[in-house]
Amino acid sequence: MKTLPEQDDLLLRLRDFHSDYFPLHQQRFQDLVSQGQHPKTLFLGCSDSRLVPYLLTGADPGDLFIVRNVGAFVPPYDGSHGLHGTTAAIEFGVLSLRVERIVVCGHSHCGAIRAAYEGVPDEAVALTAWLKLASEALLPVRTSPEALRRTEQRAIVLQLERLMDYPMVRREVEAGRLSLHGWHYVIEDGEVHVFDARQGGFVPASLASNSGTGPYQPYVEHDGQIISAA
C-alpha cells in the first residue's frame, strides 16, 4: 500500500467506508442496486453543513431523494429549457420516482437568509440572483435574531407555495398522492419545527400532531399578511 499523505483525511474516510461501514450494510446496498431505488421522500434542503438529513430523519440508504441548494429555495416554474438543477430534481422525483412527500427544510442561522438582507460579494452574480428567491419572505425591519428566524420560516412557506406552481406537484397533491412538508430545523435545540397550516405556524416536532401540512393555498400569517409566491 502506498504511504498516505497525512493530511488527506478524505481518502482515509473513503477507505473507512469501504472497510468498516460497507461490509455491515452490503446486502442493503446490493438490494438497492438489484431492485432500484424507491425513496418515498424528496428532501429539498439548504446546503448548510450543519443540516444532516439522514440524522434528522433516521433515514437509511435509499430512503431520501435529496436535492440541496443555498437556502433550500424552489425556483419559479416557468417551463423553460434552462439548466435548472433544482427544477429537474423536482420533476424527476415527482414524475419518475413518484415520491409521496416533498420536505422543504430550512434552518436556524441560515447564511442564505442573512445574505438576502445583507448582500454578497459583487463577483457572486449567480448567488445574487438566486437569493432573490427569498425576497418575498423578507421583512421591512432591521435584521435581528427574531427577524431572521421569522424570515427563515416565511421563506420555507414561500417555497412550498412555489412548489404548488409546478403542474406535476399540484396535480399529485390534488390527487392525494403527494404531501408537502415545511421544516425549520433549529440547530442549537436539535429540533425540527414543522409547518402546520391549520395551526397557523411552525410547531416543534415534540408537540406537533403531524410532520407538516401544506400549505396548499396561499398562507395568511397571524397579522393578516399573505405570503404569496406570485
> Segment near Zn ion (CB under 5 A), from 40-48, 91-99, 154-162, 170-178?
40-48
Contacts of 109 (CB under 8 A, 6+ apart): 50, 148, 187
- Give the DSSP letter string of 30-57: HHHHHH----SEEEEEE--TT--HHHHH
Q: How far is the CB of 36 from Zn ion (least distance, A)?
A: 31
Instruction: Answer yes or no whether residue 116 interacts with Zn ion by CB under 5 A.
Output: no
Is 66 within 8 Å of 56 (Cβ atoms)? no
- Give the DSSP letter string of 130-144: HHGGGGGG--SS---
Match 412548489 to its residue by C-alpha cell.
Answer: 163
Q: How far is the CB of 205 from Zn ion (least distance, A)?
A: 19
**CA–CA distance, 60 with 15 (Å, rounded to integer):** 20
Nearer to Zn ion, 101 or 109 (CB): 109
Nearer to Zn ion, 13 or 50 (CB): 50
Which residues pair with residue 103 across a beta bridge?
A: 43, 181
Other CB atoms within 10 A of residue 69 CB: 18
43-72 residues in contact with Zn ion (CB under 5 A) are: 46, 48
Q: How far is the CB of 184 from Zn ion (least distance, A)?
A: 11
From candidates 42, 74, 103, 110, binder to Zn ion by CB under 5 A: 110
Here's the x/- map for Zn ion, 117-146, by CB under 5 A: it reads as ------------------------------
Q: How far is the CB of 59 from Zn ion (least distance, A)?
A: 20
Q: Is 225 helix (H, G, I), strand (E, B) or coil?
A: coil
Instruction: Answer yes or no whether residue 192 interacts with Zn ion by CB under 5 A.
Output: no
Nearer to Zn ion, 152 or 172 (CB): 152
The residues binding Zn ion (CB under 5 A) are 46, 48, 110, 112
